[in-house]
Amino acid sequence: MKYPPVFLASLIGVSALDAGTPALEIARDGTRARITFSGALQAAETVAGPWISVSNPVSLQFWEATEPARFFRALTPNEGGIFGDSSVVSWTLSGPLQTHFNLAFAGSPDGFFPPVRVKPYFDCTLKLGPLTLPVSLRVRGNSSLQECPFPKLKFKVSKEQRAGTPFAGAREIKIGTHCADGGRGNIGRLRDERATYREALAYETMTLLGFVGPQVRRARIDFHDTSPTNNGLDGGWQLERNAVILEDIEVVAERVGGRALSDEEITALRPGIFNVQLLVDLQFLHALLGNWDYSLALDGSGVQNTDVIELADQSLVPVAGDFDLASWVTGEIRLIAPREYHPELPALDRQVRYELDQIRQRNSANSYLSASNRFAAKRTAMELQTASALLDEPGRTNAQQHLLIFFKTLAQGSE
């Protein structure tokens, strides 16, 4: 069979770059490339990079003939840094966690007048295998602090301490935690450790679609609280839970040759500064994930739960994130469709249809079609990724249902 030039370029890239790497094999599988690897797989649009880890915990990938050319390389575990391996990483994090959870009012309802959030960095110790690192940790989050007695975290490692370690290229890392040990919060979060791997898959789906975003990895973290107790200085609690770790936006920006805008810069953004097609594509992503906790108007105003990177050419790229309230993660549909809008449809069908209708009405037919084509080209890859991802089975079923309804609605809209 004669392969299209774009697909052949992908094959040439893999063969030329990795011919001597025993951890990577590629073979034809109909009109696809079947990529089998061990360790970690990375992909890039050019040999010069930037190289992005392919976030999928199984050692089998398929590359469609219709997809753009890519170069691939396989690395031994952790050769590409903490995000260079897709296996579950396990470490221990020790420090006065409860003291700082209390300072941040974690788990305290805000009401109409939120309390002042105190979220300073504090000293902790991270142990990864034989490696022991001093890190600076802090509580992060806003609305999550209303319903998460175990809040999201973020840590950074000094340049001197991280040299020669898996954290050499990842000086700041966010941790998505389990939030609590059961139930649902008053905003709607799934408050148990299943949510972390579900959110990891949401980020992996975003990466698979070609959006700029953080590298992620599933983790198993043993948390040791050393806060003083009423009985003395013998420490607090200890628990081990699933987590998702991801690059901080500043690290993402550096990786793509840009800089992350500050919160103040994002607030001051003027209308018309984003690429309209990218905004439409991102709105498709949020519709797919059932994410309602964001704001990204077509004119660039009112940006919320969206980071922004300024590239070398001064163009601005919005970066989606914080998917812990998306129905892809929670399994709960937050309906924003009017009561009279297709009441005969099930909740997910109704919500996806309404969101896609809104996107269609607000944009040109060409922009809507371009976004549809972008997602349709990745449908098989997304289905394979979801089927093989490491997460709980109800979470997998929920994600598969989101994919099914999303693409069914797209097809109905094109009829």
The pLDDT tens digits of the residues spanning 247-297 come to 999 999 998 899 999 989 988 887 778 899 999 999 999 999 999 988 887
Residue listed under structure tokens 């709960």: 332
Q: Choose the weakest-confidence range: 3-17, 162-176, 341-355, 388-402.
A: 3-17
Q: What is the pLDDT, as a whole number, of residue 53? A: 58
113, pLDDT greater than 80? no
Mean pLDDT throughout 164-175? 92
| Amino acid letter, residue 8 | L
Task: Provide the CA 360 distance to its chain's centre, in angstroms.
Answer: 26
Q: H or E element: which one contains 239?
A: strand 238-247
From CA 365, how far away is CA 355, in angstroms rounded?
Answer: 15
Mean pLDDT throughout 202-228? 95
Determine the straight-line distance between the first and last CA of the chain, rounded to whole angstroms. 33
- pLDDT tens digits, 17-44: 333 344 677 777 777 777 777 666 667 7
The dihedral built from the CA positions of residue 53, 34, 377 and 409, taken in this order, carries a sign that is negative
Higher-confidence position of 114 and 98: 98
- pLDDT tens digits, 66-98: 666 777 777 655 456 899 888 899 999 999 999
Q: What is the pLDDT, as a whole number, of residue 138? A: 97
Q: What is the b/e burial string over 382-410, where b = at least 16 CB atoms within 10 angstroms of the residue's CB?
A: bebbbeebbbeeebbebbebbbebbbebb
Q: Is 400 left (phi over 0), alpha (psi -120 to 50) or beta?
A: alpha
Q: What is the pLDDT, as a whole number, of residue 391? A: 94
Domains of the chain, by residue range, sit at 5-75, 89-255, 259-413
Q: What is the pLDDT, as a whole number, of residue 110? A: 59
Longest dimension (CA), the chain: 75
395, pLDDT greater than 60? yes
185, pLDDT greater than 70? yes
Task: Look at residue 319 and give its three-state secondary structure.
Answer: strand
From CA 356, how far away is CA 410, in angstroms rounded?
Answer: 8
| Strands annotated E in 102-177 | 122-128, 131-139, 153-156, 172-176
Neighbouring-strand partners of residue 360: none
What percent of the residues of the chain are helix, what percent strand, and what percent coil, each to the nearest 5? 30, 25, 45
Task: Look at residue 125 and give its three-state secondary structure.
Answer: strand
Task: Find all residues with CB under 8 Å of 149, minimum gap 6, and list them.
Answer: 101, 106, 107, 179, 180
DSSP for residue 190: B
